[in-house]
Amino acid sequence: MALIRLPGLIDAHVHLREPGYEHKEDFGSGTAAALAGGVTVMLDMPNTQPPTGTPEQFFTKVQLAQAKALCDVGIFVGATTTALDAYLPVAAAACGLKIYVSDTFGSLRIEELSLLHRFFRGWAERGDALGYRSAANPTGIGPIAVHAEELMVPVCLALSHLYAVPLHIVHVTRRSEIELICRAKERGYPVTCEVTPHHLFLTTEDAARLGTLGDMRPRLAPPDDVAAMWEHMAVFDIFATDHAPHTFAEKGIGVPVAPPNPPPGVPGVETMLPLLLTAVHEGRLTIDDIVERCVAGPQRVYGIPAQPDTWIEVEVDTPYTLRNEAMLTRVGWTPFAGQEVFGRVERVILRGREVFADGKILAAPATGRVLFQETN
């Protein structure tokens, strides 16, 4: 039995659902699931109810997270068609700006060039004034993160290039998309990108078996596109889960009448590390690949400081089966249920305190901190 020690992981793309959808998840349950998955920092997306589009909505969310979070959390602001760029005064207190330009859960989709232009120009003006966040400039602003699929990828690459704004393209799934991002990086564009475990380990061939439990945005991709993610592994800066819980009932499982439009999205924060370590076991990844994309990459892209005296201990030699019943996410399921994996998180130490051990959460509420608040 071999125990390895890794830094606490960063999951740079999660939906903790609070406020508005606490029956799916909240800052308490979502950060408990994080610790069980070896994650000690999460970056939370803005498509809550209400969305995180104004300073008031942003600070409401900060207070909720400060009261409940068991690990550290960064909060995104989001571009909306109703509040427009009202978030600009709190830009430096957010981990970044999220813009949805493709189909998603919620109502934040932006489809007009005039709006996109406004959002990129406004963020660039803040960036010109404050700089972009890095170890050398901890009070700058973060990148623009986009959910962009298909033709919206080159649109966002062009806007980022024209305004010299750091652009992070979340959950890439298609060969054409990663090839374009690769080309943009070679040409010196300020672009970074991420891939989710479900888009690395599931394809359209799993979709029929999984039904609504395998439905997310972007959808699972055909095997050739998934192969392209692995071929271009060196292009990816970040592994992030897009942890997006919905209940079994909302997914139409165990209810007499199937809902007409089951929401897209699947939980993932508890299964990322075992899935990646299983790929290490199979020789498809290295431990360094994981640390680079779950720690160093997110630190670099979002300017996240290292957590002192923080590490996780993971048993990597004994296989076990992922089970819905073992999940701490409020919705209690994973699309990987039944799969045999390697890599069980045994212990999590956050700032010198044991916060998770032997399957049990030991952290008290408010153990976690909200990132980037000292700038205000």
Residues that bind Zn ion (CB under 5 A): 242
Smallest gap from Cβ 162 to Zn ion, in A, equals 25
Between residues 149 and 242, which has the closer beta carbon with respect to Zn ion?
242
Between residues 16 and 341, which has the closer beta carbon with respect to Zn ion?
16
Smallest gap from Cβ 301 to Zn ion, in A, equals 16
Between residues 167 and 350, which has the closer beta carbon with respect to Zn ion?
167
Between residues 220 and 316, which has the closer beta carbon with respect to Zn ion?
220
Between residues 35 and 43, which has the closer beta carbon with respect to Zn ion?
43
The residue at minimum Cβ distance from Zn ion is 242
Between residues 242 and 250, which has the closer beta carbon with respect to Zn ion?
242
Between residues 16 and 141, which has the closer beta carbon with respect to Zn ion?
16
| Residue 122: both structure tokens together | 């406004």
Residue 338: C-alpha distances to residues 2, 27, 271, 321, 335 (Å):
23, 27, 12, 6, 9
Smallest gap from Cβ 325 to Zn ion, in A, equals 25
Smallest gap from Cβ 47 to Zn ion, in A, equals 8
Contacts of 46 (CB under 8 A, 6+ apart): 52, 53, 75, 76, 77, 78, 98, 108
Smallest gap from Cβ 199 to Zn ion, in A, equals 12
Reference 72, options 82, 84, 62, 81; nearest CA is 62
Smallest gap from Cβ 48 to Zn ion, in A, equals 12
Smallest gap from Cβ 201 to Zn ion, in A, equals 17
Between residues 26 and 242, which has the closer beta carbon with respect to Zn ion?
242
Smallest gap from Cβ 78 to Zn ion, in A, equals 11
Smallest gap from Cβ 308 to Zn ion, in A, equals 29
Contact present, 36 and 9 (Cβ < 8 Å): no
Smallest gap from Cβ 266 to Zn ion, in A, equals 10
Between residues 47 and 367, which has the closer beta carbon with respect to Zn ion?
47
Between residues 237 and 242, which has the closer beta carbon with respect to Zn ion?
242
CA atoms of 68 and 31, how far apart (whole Å): 9
Residues forming a β-bridge with 145: 98, 168
